[in-house]
Chain A
Amino acid sequence: MNDSAQLQHRGLIGESGVPPEIEIKAKAIRRETGFPVGWLITPSAIWLLLFLVIPLLSIILFSFWSAEVGKLDTSFTLENYAGFFYNEGFFDPQADRFLSISVFVKTLWNTFRFTLEVMALCLLLGYPIAYFLAMRVEKFRWQMAFFLLCMVPFWTSYLIRAVAWIPMLGRRGLLNKLLLNLGVVDEPVDFLLYSEFGYTMALVQLYVVLSVGPIFFSLAKIDKTIIEAARDMGAKTSHILWEIIFPLSLPGVAIGMVFIFVMIMGEFATAVVVYGAKTSTVGTVILNYYAVANYPFAAVNAIMLMLAMMIGVVIILRLVDIRKEL
Chain B
Amino acid sequence: MARWSPQRKKKAWYNFLFGGYYAFFIVFIYGPMIAMFILSFQGRRGGTTFPMRGASLYWWNKLIEPSSVGDMQGALGRSLILAIIVMLITALFSTMLAMAFRKKFFGSGVLFYTVMAGLMMPGILLSLGLAVLLKQMGIPTAWWSSGLGVHVVWTLPFGFLVMMAVFNRFDSTLEEAARDMGASEWTVFKEITLPLVTPGIVAAGLFGFTLSYDEFARTTLLSGQYNTLPLDINASMTQRIRPTLYALGTASTIFSILMIGLFLAVSSLLQRKSR
A269 touches B129 (CB 8 A): no
Residues of A participating in the B interface, judged by any CB pair closer than 8 Å: 33-35, 37, 40-41, 43-45, 47-48, 50-56, 58-59, 62, 72, 125, 128-129, 131-132, 136, 146, 148-150, 152-153, 155-161, 163-168, 170, 172-174, 177, 205, 208-209, 262, 265-266, 268-269, 272-273, 283, 286-287, 290, 295, 298-299, 302, 305-306, 309, 313
A157 touches B230 (CB 8 A): yes
A33 touches B179 (CB 8 A): yes
A205 touches B28 (CB 8 A): yes
From B31, B32, B210, B230, residue with most partner A Cβ within 10 Å: B32
The residues of B that contact A309 with a CB separation of less than 8 Å are: 120, 122
B contact patch SS: helix
11 more CB-based (< 8 A) A-B contacts, given A44-B97, A44-B111, A286-B128: A37-B100, A37-B103, A41-B100, A129-B21, A136-B15, A153-B33, A155-B210, A164-B35, A167-B48, A269-B216, A302-B129
A286 touches B124 (CB 8 A): yes
The residues of B that contact A174 with a CB separation of less than 8 Å are: 35, 50
Q: A44-B97, A156-B252, A159-B214 are in contact. Are A51 and B149 (CB under 8 A)?
A: yes
CB closest residue in chain B, given A295? B132
- How far is A158 from B48 in the complex, measured between Cα atoms in Å? 19
- How far is A262 from B221 in the complex, measured between Cα atoms in Å? 20
Q: A47-B153, A177-B50 are in contact. Are A167 and B115 (CB under 8 A)?
A: no
The residues of B that contact A45 with a CB separation of less than 8 Å are: 111, 114
B234 to chain A, nearest CB (A): 6
- For window 2-51 of B, CB contacts with A under 8 Å fall at 14-15, 18-19, 21-22, 25-26, 28-33, 35-36, 39, 48-50
A206 to chain B, nearest CB (A): 9
B237 touches A163 (CB 8 A): yes
- For window 102-148 of B, CB contacts with A under 8 Å fall at 102-103, 105, 111, 114-115, 117-126, 128-133, 135-136, 146
CB closest residue in chain A, given B129? A55
B224 interface residue per 8 A CB criterion: no
CB closest residue in chain B, given A270? B216
Closest CB pairs A-B (n = 8): A266-B122, A55-B129, A164-B32, A51-B149, A40-B100, A160-B249, A59-B129, A164-B36
From A59, A153, A156, residue with most partner B Cβ within 10 Å: A156
B171 interface residue per 8 A CB criterion: no
The residues of B that contact A173 with a CB separation of less than 8 Å are: 49-50
Selected A-B contacts with CB under 8 Å, 14 pairs? A35-B99, A40-B99, A44-B96, A59-B125, A132-B22, A153-B30, A153-B33, A156-B33, A156-B253, A163-B245, A166-B241, A167-B39, A269-B217, A283-B122
The residues of B that contact A52 with a CB separation of less than 8 Å are: 114, 117-118, 121, 126, 153
B125 touches A305 (CB 8 A): yes
Q: Which of B93, B96, B123, B129 contacts A266 (CB 8 A)?
A: B123
- How far is A174 from B105 in the complex, measured between Cα atoms in Å? 58
B82 interface residue per 8 A CB criterion: no
B150 touches A51 (CB 8 A): yes
A106 to chain B, nearest CB (A): 19
The residues of A that contact B36 with a CB separation of less than 8 Å are: 160, 163-164, 167
A118 to chain B, nearest CB (A): 14
Q: Which of B50, B126, B156 contacts A167 (CB 8 A)?
A: B50
The residues of A that contact B245 with a CB separation of less than 8 Å are: 163
A265 touches B115 (CB 8 A): no
B118 touches A48 (CB 8 A): yes
A227 to chain B, nearest CB (A): 14
The residues of A that contact B198 with a CB separation of less than 8 Å are: none
B260 interface residue per 8 A CB criterion: yes
The residues of B that contact A161 with a CB separation of less than 8 Å are: 32-33
A28 to chain B, nearest CB (A): 13
The residues of A that contact B210 with a CB separation of less than 8 Å are: 155
A306 to chain B, nearest CB (A): 6
B260 touches A152 (CB 8 A): yes
The residues of A that contact B216 with a CB separation of less than 8 Å are: 158-159, 269
A47 touches B152 (CB 8 A): yes
